[in-house]
Structure 1
Amino acid sequence: MSTHDAPPPSRWARSGPQATEGFGRRFAELVAAGQDVDGEARLADALLPRGARVLDVGAGMGRVSAALQARGHRVTAVEPDGGLVAQCRATYPTVDVVQADLLELDDARVGRVLGDRPHQVDLVVCVGNVVVFLAEGTERQALATMAGRLAPGGRLLVGYHLVGGPEHARAYPPEEFVQDAASAGLRVQHRFGSYELAPPSDEYAVWVLTADA
């Protein structure tokens, strides 16, 4: 894909407004009810030094970005869905959110908060089934794009359902994900079964990846 071509439509975009609006509505209700929606952010925070630089890819309504920002990190949220971007800005007005597809990112679009080295972040967060909603055949390109944003020693946090995931999401077997990550210059540092560090399971995968030296 050239820099002038629009990325192909993702599985998320093709799932239709009923599915995408339902996602935003569900999390808005959880937040309004005071439910705990910070599990991913707690793990992300544990992986980081204080005041770190974070890129939250597929940020949705911004809940993970907001939680990390509240913990003192510099965060740029990236979300392609215009409805979710609007919801993020209304719910978390201090979160810097960029409406863009992951494959469209450039330094200018993510540098407002991250500063003069927006291509170098301490952590890329890609949770909430984002990788199983990517456009078909773009997984390796997406992983390479995220890997290219990492500072030396930086890491990538990925989480998705192995079974029982959302409608329209793809199945992404662990062995295929590991192969795709390796092709992008990433290696698995840890695999867990939850954001609370449960042992690996057949239901959900949480990966901590680092760039090859």
Structure 2
Amino acid sequence: MSRWEELTGGTSGEDYAARFAALADSGRDMHGEARLCATLVPTGARVLDAGCGTGRVMIRLAELGYDCVGLDLDASMLAVARRQAPQLSWMQADLATFDPAELPGGADFDLVVAAGNIFPLLAVGTEAAVIKHLAAALRPGGLLVAGFGLDAAHLPVPPAITLPEYDAHCAASGLALVNRFATWDAAPYEGGGYAVSVHRVQSRG
């Protein structure tokens, strides 16, 4: 069982969507992740939203002209995503075991985005497998961008993965670090409890 399932019971889709809707109604900018992705790959690029949840990031990327597929294990989150954007491709699957070749369009994505603390909320011990599968979904030269908390102040669960551990898993899957930010608005990373990392496919390790 993933830490997300332990935390939510897999039934929090409506509550999660309502919380973000309230933030948007309050004037909060909800599109930092999509905006950063749009600086990394050109309009029309293929994007896999790994751990897409209720679809907030992917729906915005689709509005900007990207060819998107969303992948999540939580049926309650996907139900919201499908209701909000039934025309988009949403798939229920475990990030640690899915077959990239079975994704719509095959394993040829320009960008994989993992927002929303995906890695700290995985099942314990599956981090390397998840990165391996996400790397396999990318075309040569494709990018994996992931943002997640590193300390208790930025996470709903105890910290589970460090940046050196994450980088080592990426390297083992043929991904090299090309940039790291402190926020999805691309503020420079100088240490701290949250990081957004961009890795590029270098080889098929």
User: Who is 1:125 aligned against?
Assistant: 113
Structure 1 range deviating more: 125-134 or 163-172: 163-172
CA distance in 2, matches of 1:108, 1:150: 10
Query: Structure 2, unaligned stretches of length 5 or more?
Result: none
CA distance in 1, matches of 2:187, 2:149: 14
Q: Is the 8 A contact 1:11 1:136 kept in 2?
A: yes
Aligned partner (choices 175, 185, 201) of residue 186 of structure 1: 175
Q: Is the 8 A contact 1:51 1:72 kept in 2?
A: yes
The TM-score normalised by the length of structure 1 is 0.86
User: Who is 1:6 aligned against?
Assistant: none
Change in CA separation of 1:71 and 1:122 when aligned onto 2, cut-off 3 Å = same
**TM-superposition CA deviations, 1:12-55 (whole Å, max 9, x none):** 01113398454333123234555421100000011112211110
User: Who is 1:16 aligned against?
Assistant: 8
**TM-superposition CA deviations, 1:87-131 (whole Å, max 9, x none):** 1112233332111111232356521xxx3xx20100001111001
User: Who is 1:44 aligned against?
Assistant: 37
Q: Is the 8 A contact 2:140 2:202 kept in 1?
A: no
Query: Given residue 186 of structure 1, which amino acid in structure 2 is its aligned partner?
Result: L
Query: Structure 1, unaligned stretches of length 5 or more?
Result: 1-8
Q: Is the 8 A contact 1:62 1:95 kept in 2?
A: no
User: Who is 1:154 aligned against?
Assistant: 142
Query: Given residue 83 of structure 1, which amino acid in structure 2 is its aligned partner?
Result: S
Aligned partner (choices 40, 47, 50) of residue 57 of structure 1: 50
Change in CA separation of 1:169 and 1:29 when aligned onto 2, cut-off 3 Å = farther
Q: Is the 8 A contact 2:10 2:75 kept in 1?
A: no
The answer on 1:202 being equivalent to 2:192 is yes
- Amino-acid identity (%): 36
Aligned residues: 200
Q: Is the 8 A contact 1:158 1:207 kept in 2?
A: yes
Query: Given residue 206 of structure 1, which amino acid in structure 2 is its aligned partner?
Result: V
Q: Is the 8 A contact 2:97 2:133 kept in 1?
A: no
CA distance in 2, matches of 1:149, 1:72: 20
Match of 1:87, SS state, is helix
Q: Is the 8 A contact 2:46 2:66 kept in 1?
A: yes
Return the offset for 1:186: 1.2
Q: Is the 8 A contact 2:33 2:57 kept in 1?
A: yes
Query: Given residue 17 of structure 1, which amino acid in structure 2 is its aligned partner?
Result: G
